[in-house]
């Protein structure tokens, strides 16, 4: 059986196709994404507001952290060593003097002028001048001048001048002194022409010869010792 299509039925079919096409185009347009817009032309997005609950929580956390830092600071302060106490009048520190070596004037040395020495001094030559020494002086040479020192030892020495000794003075054999002597303690076994002052003990040995006045605290005289002059002791003054 053959089906016949008329003009009216063709128009209805064509309208139906167009209507379906338009509906399909409309649906496709709705599904399409928005056209791309450059970033610089886009409107800025609105930042969402922070809720009051979040803000309150942040402030609470901040206060908690501040309290924790304060507690840690207090702990650090408590663990530190206490500051040393200041002393109003600290004890005096004794001054340390340098350790000088012994100065030596050899036998072929001749000096004209005064000598000042901080260390011990040995004189084997000749000195024409006074000698000032803070240490010990040993002389087996010749000194034409005074001697001032802590301790003095003369051995085969020739001295023309006064000797002032804060400690002990030893005048050994064959030593000759022309001048006055003054010391804390004196041991004499040589010859002296001058006055002698000893604060503590004077020992006159067998070869000693004194031509001058003697003032001493105590005296010890060996057999053979010779004296010309007055003798005064603190024991005889008290007696």
Residues 192-217 pLDDT 10s: 999 999 999 999 999 999 999 999 99
Strands annotated E in 94-141? 103-105, 110-112, 115-117, 121-123, 126-128, 131-133, 136-139
Q: How many CB atoms sit inside 10 A of residue 144's CB?
A: 15
Token digits for 190? 């040589």
Task: Kindly indicate the confidence band of residue 1, based on its pLDDT and cuts at 50, 70 and 90.
Answer: very low
- Cβ pair 197, 213 in contact under 8 A: no
Binning pLDDT at 50, 70 and 90, where does residue 91 land?
confident
pLDDT, tens digit, for every residue of 37-46?
555 555 655 5
Q: Is the pLDDT of residue 2 over 60?
A: no
The secondary structure of residue 17, as a DSSP letter, is: H
pLDDT higher than 60, residue 93: yes
Query: Do 228 and 213 contact (CB within 8 A), yes or no?
Result: no
Phi, psi torsion values for 117, nearest 5 degrees:
-135, 135
Q: What is the pLDDT of residue 234?
A: 81
Q: Compute CA distances 14 → 7, 17, 47, whole Å.
A: 11, 5, 53
Q: Pairing state of beta strands 176-178 and 163-165?
A: unpaired
pTM of the predicted model as reported, rounded to 2 decimal places: 0.59
Check pLDDT > 80 for residue 47.
no
Average pLDDT, the chain: 79
Looking up tokens 């010749």 gives: 142
Compare 55 and 130 and report the one with higher pLDDT: 130
Per-residue model confidence (pLDDT) at position 203: 96
Please provide the distance, in angstroms rounded to a whole number, between the alpha carbons at the two ends of the chain. Answer: 186
Lookup result for tokens 């952290």 = 65
Give 54 or 69, the one with higher predicted confidence: 69
Structure tokens at 4: 């016949």
3-state secondary structure the chain: CCCCCCHHHHHHHHHHHHHHHHHHHHHHHHHCCCCCCCHHHCCCCCCCCCCHHHHHHHHHHHHHHHHHHHHHHHHHHHHCCCCCCCCCCCCCCCCCCCCCCCEEECCCCEEECCEEECCCEEECCEEECCEEECCEEEECCEECCCEEECEEEECCCEEECCEEECCEEEECCCCEEECCEEEEEEEECCEEECCEEEEEEEEECCCCEEECCEEEEEEEECCCCEEECCEEEHHHHHC
Closest-CA residue to 216 (of 235, 229, 188): 235
């Amino acid at each position: 059986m053959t089906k016949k299509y008329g003009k009216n039925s063709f128009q209805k079919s064509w309208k139906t196709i167009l209507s379906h096409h338009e509906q399909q185009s409309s649906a496709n347009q709705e599904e399409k994404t928005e056209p791309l817009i450059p970033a610089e032309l886009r409107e800025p997005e609105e930042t969402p507001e922070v809720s009051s609950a979040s803000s309150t929580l942040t402030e609470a956390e901040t206060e908690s952290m501040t309290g924790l830092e304060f507690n840690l600071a207090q702990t650090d302060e408590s663990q530190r060593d206490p500051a040393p106490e200041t002393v109003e009048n600290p004890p005096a520190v004794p001054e340390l003097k340098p350790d000088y070596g012994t100065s030596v004037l050899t036998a072929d040395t001749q000096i004209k002028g005064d000598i000042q020495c901080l260390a011990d001094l040995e004189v084997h030559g000749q000195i024409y001048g006074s000698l000032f020494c803070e240490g010990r002086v040993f002389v087996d040479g010749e000194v034409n001048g005074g001697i001032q020192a802590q301790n003095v030892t003369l051995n085969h020495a020739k001295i023309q001048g006064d000797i002032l000794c804060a400690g002990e003075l030893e005048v050994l054999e064959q030593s000759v002194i022309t001048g006055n002597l003054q010391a804390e303690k004196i041991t004499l076994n040589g010859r002296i022409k001058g006055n002698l002052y000893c604060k503590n003990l004077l020992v006159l040995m067998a070869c000693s010869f004194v031509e001058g006045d003697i003032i001493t605290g105590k005296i010890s005289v060996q057999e053979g010792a010779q004296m010309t002059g007055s003798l005064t002791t603190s024991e005889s003054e008290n007696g």
